[in-house]
């Protein structure tokens, strides 16, 4: 019986093991035959287990200026990592983790923008590996090498690509910036956020590659294992029309004036007058694309995306329309001061006017009344067509995003009159540049552009090329030449508002402007001496323009003794002068004016001496109603032809009308006549206390007020509280 029980137990054990063996054999045969387990391909799973891959990161395309100077590019940087897990050290003589946190913190504090205590806090965390935040990223190669030379155990570096802007603040709103973003598949790639970086992101971003290889279970490459390489495709290089040198001229001038006058806003554009290429473009406030410092102050490119009332710079194109229509006669005269529009008065900036003056003088003085009368002669509908032909109220279609079209406010009689001198209607700086190319380029208007070409780095071939494009011909070549001549006189004339923009050796043609600024809080225009947009739109050389420069400065802090054109000229003049010289545009040789020697004419006939000297080119002014010369403003000197020479005669003492005389000439006249002079202001005489051509007493003091010509727009002669914005 006992033997039977033992046999039964052995039989049961044999049966169980036989069944397990059968199942194992069945499973083995099934796997061998089908190659699958639970629906999964075992070969593929094994391949996946031992296959490794590495991303081959593509380099983002460069942004370069017209001459190939780098504006933005990818650069190799490094991220610092500290290993804290001591289990990763397999050889105590060559530790792979941080062994001395205090020493490590002390050393790293010399290179990172972190204190020793902050670094020690990071190194004493209970983690296997730590990083050091933004302060531990973007480490340049030379700093990495210095840290490695310190031989700190457990400190390692990971290589990274960073978008680098080597010029700092440099056309920042035009260029924009790019930064890393995590995609849906978990990959990190650099993406343009604004400006050219964003607008041309599809060209600039490359396509990552991949290196695949087989390893064993421990991660070592398998001998004879398969490798596969998918090459990375770098992004395209973008060449702009911007010239790095001219852009630097503009940035430096804007920064200096911004520091000196603290304006609310500024902008500057330099364009090639013959092609429409934008050579420089910047604004204030601006930002550093590397650090993004300043970006929160202004996100948009105001040269492209914002509109404003241009003020008297707009008279450039109103004048062109009047010349083209044949209604502008420079020698015809009109009564300056004001113009009536259905009971509302449009005033000149000098409310009382300058009397009856020529239309050319009206242009030089920036008279609103002159242009209102020109509109009357042209007709509303005719002038409206010129606004369209010059491209106002329309996008220029420049190769930049979010361009604003501006608005032509031209529904009611008052709006039509104010538009002709640049108030009410709005424009962009790009529209003004485009329209100015018609004046500079014999009537042919060029579309502005900033994109020169896009180049495939592998082939070196351009996949896109920008080119000059005529966007219209609003005026004839003859009209353009005349307008350039008339506008040049605003700079050279003694009464011209553009005098501060004269540049030695080059003739500048242009127009200054002082535009009112709408107050969004009140619906009216702002008041106060500084609350304007001051600007100048000019080209040079005037006879054959090469460059157009447009500068605008809004609400600068003006000193009491300084006119509004001065801060604008401190940007325009150096930018234009340096750019002309840089482009090897030689200055014109100044014509030599003849010198006229003057002797001592005391006791001689005043009329005879006057006739003789005027025949030699001097301007002779007589003080007194006698016939014999008693005193003169200069003796035994050489004067320049055209200079004033004052003769004081015997008889009763009279004085001339000093209006328009320079400060120097009035001082000389008062000294020659032995009169006490009380002078206020600088520039040119605008008023005097003694009536001209009347007999005065020698002991009467002479008071003369001087001003430097400058316009200040005064739209309507009405109470301030009624000075509402024009309504659509």
Task: Give the contacts of 666 (CB within 8 A, at least 6 positions apart).
Answer: 658, 677, 679, 685, 704, 706
Cβ neighbour number for residue 240 with a 10 Å cutoff? 27
The C-alpha R_g of the chain, in whole angstroms, comes to: 39
Q: Which two tokens stand for residue 220?
A: 């070592």
State how far the Cα of 327 lies from the Cα of 371, in Å rounded to an integer: 11
Catalytic annotation, pick one of 312, 425, 452, 564: 312
> Count of residues for the chain?
728
| Partners of 70 in beta bridges | 64
Burial 465-482 (b: 16+ CB within 10 A, else e): ebeeeebbebbeeebbbb
Cβ neighbour number for residue 304 with a 10 Å cutoff? 23
What string of H, E and C letters represents the secondary structure of 49-118?
Answer: HHEEEEEECCCCCCEECCCCCEEEEEEEEEEEEEECCHHHCCCCCCCCCCCCHHHHHHHHCCCCCCCHHH
| Catalytic residue list contains 662 | no
**524 to each of 50, 88, 409, 719, 720, how far by Cα in Å?**
75, 72, 16, 12, 9
What string of H, E and C letters represents the secondary structure of 252-303?
Answer: HHHHHHHHHHCCCEEEEEEEECCCCEEEEEEEECCCCCCCCCCHHHCCCCHH
CB contact at 8 A, 196 and 174: yes
Burial degree of 448 (CB within 10 A; 0-12, 13-18, 19+): buried
User: Of 410, 196, 426, whose CA–CA distance to 314 is shortest?
Assistant: 426
Q: What positions carry a catalytic annotation?
A: 312
């Amino acid at each position: 019986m006992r033997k039977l029980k033992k046999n039964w137990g052995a039989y049961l054990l044999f049966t169980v093991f036989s069944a397990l063996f059968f199942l194992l054999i069945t499973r083995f045969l099934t796997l061998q035959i089908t190659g699958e387990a639970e629906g999964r391909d075992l070969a593929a799973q094994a391949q996946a287990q031992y296959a490794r891959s590495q991303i081959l990161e593509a380099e983002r395309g460069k942004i370069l200026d017209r001459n190939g100077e780098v504006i933005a590019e990818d650069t190799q940087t490094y991220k610092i990592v500290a290993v804290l897990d001591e289990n990763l050290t397999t050889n105590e003589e060559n530790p792979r983790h941080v062994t001395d946190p205090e020493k490590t913190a002390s050393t790293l504090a010399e290179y990172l923008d972190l204190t020793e205590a902050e670094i020690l806090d990071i190194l004493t965390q209970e983690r296997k590996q730590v990083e050091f935040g933004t302060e531990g990223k973007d480490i340049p190669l030379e700093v990495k090498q210095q840290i490695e030379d310190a031989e700190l155990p457990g400190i390692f570096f990971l290589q990274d690509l960073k978008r680098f802007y080597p010029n700092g603040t440099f056309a920042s709103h035009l260029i924009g910036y790019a930064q890393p973003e995590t995609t849906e598949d978990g990959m990190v790639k650099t993406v343009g956020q604004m400006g050219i970086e964003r607008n041309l992101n599809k060209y600039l971003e490359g396509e990552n590659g991949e290196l695949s290889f087989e390893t064993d279970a421990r991660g070592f490459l398998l001998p004879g294992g398969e490798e596969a390489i998918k090459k990375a495709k770098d992004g395209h290089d973008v060449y702009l029309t911007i010239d790095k040198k001219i852009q630097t001229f503009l940035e430096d001038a804007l920064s200096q004036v911004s520091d000196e006058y603290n304006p609310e806003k500024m902008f500057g554009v330099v364009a090639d007058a013959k092609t429409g290429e934008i050579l420089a473009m910047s604004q204030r406030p601006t930002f550093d694309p590397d650090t993004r410092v300043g970006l929160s102050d202004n996100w948009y490119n105001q040269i492209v995306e914002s509109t404003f009332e241009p003020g008297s710079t707009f008279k450039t194109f109103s004048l062109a329309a009047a010349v083209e229509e044949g209604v502008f006669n420079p020698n015809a005269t009109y009564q300056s001061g004001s113009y009536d529009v259905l009971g509302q008065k449009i005033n000149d900036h000098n409310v009382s006017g300058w009397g009856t003056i020529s239309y050319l003088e009206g242009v030089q003085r920036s008279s609103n009344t002159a242009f209102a009368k020109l509109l009357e002669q042209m007709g509303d509908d005719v002038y409206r067509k010129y606004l369209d032909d010059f491209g106002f109220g329309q996008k220029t279609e420049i190769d930049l995003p979010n361009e604003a079209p501006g608005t032509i406010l031209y529904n009611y009689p008052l709006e039509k009159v104010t538009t002709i001198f640049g108030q009410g209607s709005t424009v962009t700086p790009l529209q003004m540049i485009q329209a100015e190319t018609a004046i500079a380029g014999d009537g042919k208007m060029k579309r502005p552009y900033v994109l020169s070409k896009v180049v495939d780095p592998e082939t070196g071939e351009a996949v896109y090329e920008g080119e000059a494009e005529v966007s219209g011909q609003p005026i004839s070549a003859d009209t353009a030449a005349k307008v350039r001549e008339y506008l040049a006189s605003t700079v050279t004339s003694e009464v011209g508002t553009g005098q501060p923009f004269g540049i030695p050796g080059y003739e500048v043609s242009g127009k200054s402007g002082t535009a009112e600024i709408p107050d969004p809080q009140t619906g009216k225009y702002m008041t106060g001496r500084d609350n304007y947009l001051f600007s100048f739109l000019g080209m040079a050389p005037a006879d054959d323009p090469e460059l157009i420069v447009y500068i605008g400065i809004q609400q600068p802090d003006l000193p009491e003794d300084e006119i509004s054109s001065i801060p604008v000229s401190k940007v325009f003049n150096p930018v234009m002068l340096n750019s002309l010289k840089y482009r090897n545009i030689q200055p014109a040789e100044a014509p030599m004016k003849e010198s006229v020697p003057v002797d001592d004419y005391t006791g001689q006939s005043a009329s005879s001496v006057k006739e003789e000297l005027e025949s030699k080119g001097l301007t002779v002014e007589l003080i007194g109603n006698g016939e014999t010369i008693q005193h003169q403003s200069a003796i035994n000197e050489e004067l320049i032809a055209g200079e004033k020479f004052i003769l004081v005669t015997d008889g009763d003492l009279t004085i001339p009308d000093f209006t328009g005389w320079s400060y120097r000439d009035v001082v000389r006249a008062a000294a020659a006549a032995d009169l006490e002079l009380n002078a206020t202001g600088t520039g040119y005489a605008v008023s005097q206390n003694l009536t001209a051509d009347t007999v005065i007493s020698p002991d009467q003091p002479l008071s003369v007020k001087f001003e430097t010509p400058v316009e200040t727009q005064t739209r309507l002669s009405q109470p301030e509280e009624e000075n509402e914005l024009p309504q659509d």
